[in-house]
A = this chain, B = another copy of it.
């Protein structure tokens, strides 16, 4: 048994297929009471959360320097993110040592474990700025082809990771219901007359997110080679979208109300150290793409690498739940194949003009879509703009989301001989629009 397959005294962590073995140890912020009261930092292990505030205060996390020990007492992960990789690694090593089979602190630590289903999760960090990228060629092609069949992908896609600023205030943690937004939309295709009301084309988008670590001061840049030192970890992101609102408002400045009513993220932050066994080369550049500017290339052979992360989207409708039907898988994709830009390149691009990133900022990958049927990361693509509704178990169909629909995003890394690393779940249920 290799080091990465070490066993924990938390038995659920040793089960085949567990999201949270000893090799993962994602971080979160949780509270004992509803609404994440008295929030504190935790680590996921098996089906439990280890209270790292308590473990840190009891000196069970090994030799942490003062700043790191203090960061473990915070109500968010921002202070720890700000300290950088050496601190992240010290915490990770301390937690792993404490949870390893035979650890001397087991008896004390047992009292600091809470079942995941008995706690409330909060956002892992106070997110100062949220940036959403657009890095999957398949998504750009599929979505673009609906509006511009002759030239679906803009030429800039091949030279830089396209992005826009999202709304930080409306980022919510997994499990938060999403109220169907209202807005203006065209009365009909091509019309400049508008209707106002609840969106008729509510969609999800399957993305991964990266939390920023120390970041950079205004006016300086982060080199591609150093970018991973500024990524505290990855999470799941559902970029809910109102396609009719988005389509009408989007020229010339991009998405606004079609996106900013809600973005859901998973409570877990999976470290790049946990993902390291799954590091792979990025997919090769596509035929005809221009050479990259140096700032996006770095010094590594073949440019920045990425991670072999498998994504999955499930849908459960209200009627399916009434009928006792299991959720249906809508989509499966592969980040290393379907994301054309690595997170390190996104960080390098974001800062090349001197834009400052701060600890706890979030960047999203953009919708991750594969090349085949059933690998598309949103309904707009899966249903060809709503023209080809999906057939669901129980006889329903879906072009876009209906009230009561529950979306669940998951992701994981899995390969023979390596421990599975899971991202947990990012869920959200659609509530009807408000009458007000």
Q: What is the 8 Å Cβ interface bit string for chain A, positions 118-129, against chain B (1 contact, 0 not)? A: 000000000011
CB pairs A–B below 8 angstroms (8 shown)? A169-B356, A172-B218, A181-B354, A192-B290, A253-B255, A257-B349, A257-B355, A261-B355
Q: Is the CB of B353 within 8 A of A260?
A: yes
Question: Is A92 in contact with chain B by the CB < 8 A criterion?
Answer: no
Measured CB to CB, the nearest residue on chain B to A140 is B252
Measured CB to CB, the nearest residue on chain B to A166 is B165
| A344 smallest CB distance to B (angstroms) | 17
Q: Is the CB of B154 within 8 A of A434?
A: no
Question: Is A400 in contact with chain B by the CB < 8 A criterion?
Answer: no
Question: Is A170 in contact with chain B by the CB < 8 A criterion?
Answer: yes
Q: Is the CB of A249 within 8 A of B160?
A: yes
Q: Is the CB of B170 within 8 A of A355?
A: yes
| A299 smallest CB distance to B (angstroms) | 15
Q: A129-B167, A129-B168 are in contact. Are A182 and B352 (CB under 8 A)?
A: yes
Question: Is A203 in contact with chain B by the CB < 8 A criterion?
Answer: no
Q: A165-B166, A192-B155, A261-B355 are in contact. Are A179 and B252 (CB under 8 A)?
A: no
Question: Is A293 in contact with chain B by the CB < 8 A criterion?
Answer: yes
Q: A172-B218, A355-B170 are in contact. Are A184 and B159 (CB under 8 A)?
A: yes
Q: A160-B249, A166-B165, A192-B155 are in contact. Are A182 and B353 (CB under 8 A)?
A: yes
Q: What is the 8 Å Cβ interface bit string for chain A, positions 242-277, against chain B (1 contact, 0 not)? A: 100100111111111100111000000000000000
Complex Cα–Cα for A155 and B144 (A)? 21
| A181 smallest CB distance to B (angstroms) | 4
Question: Is A357 in contact with chain B by the CB < 8 A criterion?
Answer: yes
Q: Is the CB of B353 within 8 A of A257?
A: yes
| A188 smallest CB distance to B (angstroms) | 14
Q: Is the CB of B164 within 8 A of A254?
A: yes
Complex Cα–Cα for A134 and B251 (A)? 11
Q: What is the 8 Å Cβ interface bit string for chain A, positions 341-366, against chain B (1 contact, 0 not)? A: 00000000110111111100100000
A129: chain B residues at CB < 8 Å are: 167-169
Complex Cα–Cα for A302 and B261 (A)? 29
